[in-house]
Structure 1
């Protein structure tokens, strides 16, 4: 296998943010871990991302053969995601200038999320020649049509600009990497993607970070009572994640099993400030905690860096991913690798990993009574809990990032033939 020069575009979010404990999503982890493994396989990887802070160094040498470039485009500050699209032309101009100055060329370009795809199409036009067109490989991470299907209001609805961009990117991409069979089907039937372009490759997990840790040690680290029955949510604090439904379910369990020392840990969001400065969704959940009269049951933990998350997963008895839509669900994968049972909605891509006979682990969207019964069952049946933990860990052991990177390299190489 010859070494490839790979341009990776992560325009709207910096992959390094996930290591710093900043509010991030699965895409940050995905891009960084994939890039690390590609570099470890001998390929040269340059990641281009928008500079969000004046203190960001222009170039970060992340590992051997792996660099990350912070490119100025618009204010060097956090900007609302939907406002970022206006700065893409400046981003493209500055990436092109950097590459011209450094005399850089690439074999393939891998774009993450639709905004990166918009930039990628423009860069492809600048870098291609009559003899050679630079291949574009796209990973969408989420799809506008599916997000709009479950949107609860105008603020959550993706606009026509994003949808048009995704449709254009589907046409222009040489290959599309889908994290699950369900997302592959959405791309084929709703976006009319050529099925021969779609490659289903689930994301990986870093087993050096996420692995079983003794519950006593994990609970000591997170400051939890050894006797507590801990249910945990990990992820972004946004309506799409269904955290309110989980809180309803926890209320039901607390009423049905009043002697159970129940706790719900919500890991995510910025809670370092005064409550009045929390995000709108966090404030809504805080009001719901009071309304349901479970203030002592629900604990807001805030965002945690990857190395600490492993302790939180291992401290949990059950991890719940109650999302209305999830292209895959990397937090569930991380929890399963730690040997913790995960209850997920049947709309999440990762649900395909859960054996049909493990119905206790699949729940329905907006059905807090069903979710409550599933949580209660796992918390009160230790033998079943232990069996499921062992089986799920064995199932995800093959999803290491090295294996994922090797499959993606095959996709890159197929685009060069």
Structure 2
């Protein structure tokens, strides 16, 4: 989500619009206002303690955030034309801001992007601890009702918003996220592998993303075990890119520790490598070093990692519940897999790794398919949504 907000704001500014991004201050070292460019600023608003706050505790600080935003805008004599809320907590703040400004005689339309939906996350949750609570669900329902427009990243999410949240179809605009083609583009595999320290002979399958249960990483590890058994001659590696692995294993997140235990249970400790989180410019090398990127999610509103990989010309196998599956030609059965079906996924990975001509053809087709999804084009489409709210 941070990448989405940053790239969209940069492109809106490049198109000549003034953009202020309000976010909660997490570090006293950060100045209250960061001037990113002539037309793009980031405001760090104090709300609660400095530092990271668990998501479940964040709600209690929203009133303070709203009050401090209002104070800042009054002090600076700021007025806006449109408010774009990202994620449900920003939506809670946005509704409160809209009501206050409406009482002051100022009309400010709300455009909402949810990024993920609680009801869908709860549908695929494996236990009560993974489920989102009623506070988030109620907030999303309220935001759907109060938004002047909703931007959905995929047709599937648009359908969920319409049927599960009772959003008005005319308020939903489907605009997939973009990709920075200056960062993500094809790089010679030999150069990429040298940069990331990978063996030129390895067959690298890669996952990139947050380390959480709904991402289906465990299913991918089961599939890799099957491939390793079926094709023992393949120098197979699974790179898991994400999470904090800079400390001792005992200090890893609970989900990372589960995956580390699974690696041992499946007896593939030399096959699976935990790489940790990487910045965007390094990610480009990792994508290009990979033979295949897999997104085995139980639910994914879109899947920016898959889009970034495709832009680098790397074949992506994704579950058929991910929003990005709409970009993949349905005839390419090798690229669409099922949730919790490691045998099917294993067969698809094996096929791509052992059929170089098919692999090369898919790589070329994917690069052509995603060329239109540059952030500049996405920003232009979103500006049209903003303008429609002002009519």
Fold conserved (TM > 0.5)? Answer: yes
> Which of 309, 330, 345 is equivalent to 2:319?
345
- Residue 366 of structure 2: aligned partner: 392
Q: CA offsets per residue over residues 312-363 of structure 1, 9 Å max, x none?
A: 0000000000000000000000000000000000000000000011010000
Structure 1 CA distance for aligned equivalents of residues 208 and 105 of structure 2: 48
Instruction: Provide the alpha-carbon RMSD of the alignment.
Output: 0.8
> Which of 199, 218, 224 is equivalent to 1:244?
218
- Residue 238 of structure 2: aligned partner: 264
Q: CA offsets per residue over residues 124-180 of structure 1, 9 Å max, x none?
A: 112225754210000000001000000111221000111111111001000000000
1:409 matched to 2:383: yes
> Which of 138, 144, 161 is equivalent to 1:187?
161
Structure 2 CA distance for aligned equivalents of residues 53 and 172 of structure 1: 32
- Residue 7 of structure 2: aligned partner: 33
- Residue 22 of structure 2: aligned partner: 48
1:216 matched to 2:190: yes
Structure 2 CA distance for aligned equivalents of residues 308 and 60 of structure 1: 24
1:383 matched to 2:357: yes
Change (3 A) 1:58 1:132: closer
> Which of 149, 164, 187 is equivalent to 1:175?
149
- Residue 330 of structure 1: aligned partner: 304
Structure 2 CA distance for aligned equivalents of residues 324 and 131 of structure 1: 45
SS at match of 2:119: helix
- How far did residue 64 of structure 1 move? 2.0
- Residue 178 of structure 2: aligned partner: 204
SS at match of 1:128: helix
Structure 1 CA distance for aligned equivalents of residues 34 and 130 of structure 2: 34
Structure 1 CA distance for aligned equivalents of residues 21 and 8 of structure 2: 11
- Residue 136 of structure 2: aligned partner: 162
- How far did residue 33 of structure 1 move? 0.3
SS at match of 1:230: strand
- Residues paired across the two proteins, number: 391
SS at match of 2:211: coil
SS at match of 2:239: strand
- How far did residue 56 of structure 1 move? 1.9
Q: CA offsets per residue over residues 220-243 of structure 1, 9 Å max, x none?
A: 000000000000000000001000
Structure 1 gaps, min length 5: 1-26
Structure 1 CA distance for aligned equivalents of residues 353 and 29 of structure 2: 46
SS at match of 2:277: coil
- Residue 7 of structure 1: aligned partner: none
1:113 matched to 2:87: yes
- Residue 230 of structure 1: aligned partner: 204
- Residue 331 of structure 2: aligned partner: 357
- Residue 370 of structure 1: aligned partner: 344
1:54-93 equivalence runs, <5 A: 54-93=28-67
- How far did residue 82 of structure 1 move? 1.4
Structure 2 CA distance for aligned equivalents of residues 414 and 320 of structure 1: 37
Structure 2 CA distance for aligned equivalents of residues 270 and 100 of structure 1: 40
- Residue 13 of structure 1: aligned partner: none
- How far did residue 194 of structure 1 move? 0.6
Structure 2 gaps, min length 5: none
Structure 2 CA distance for aligned equivalents of residues 54 and 256 of structure 1: 54
Structure 2 CA distance for aligned equivalents of residues 47 and 130 of structure 1: 22
1:129-140 equivalence runs, <5 A: 132-140=106-114
1:314 matched to 2:314: no
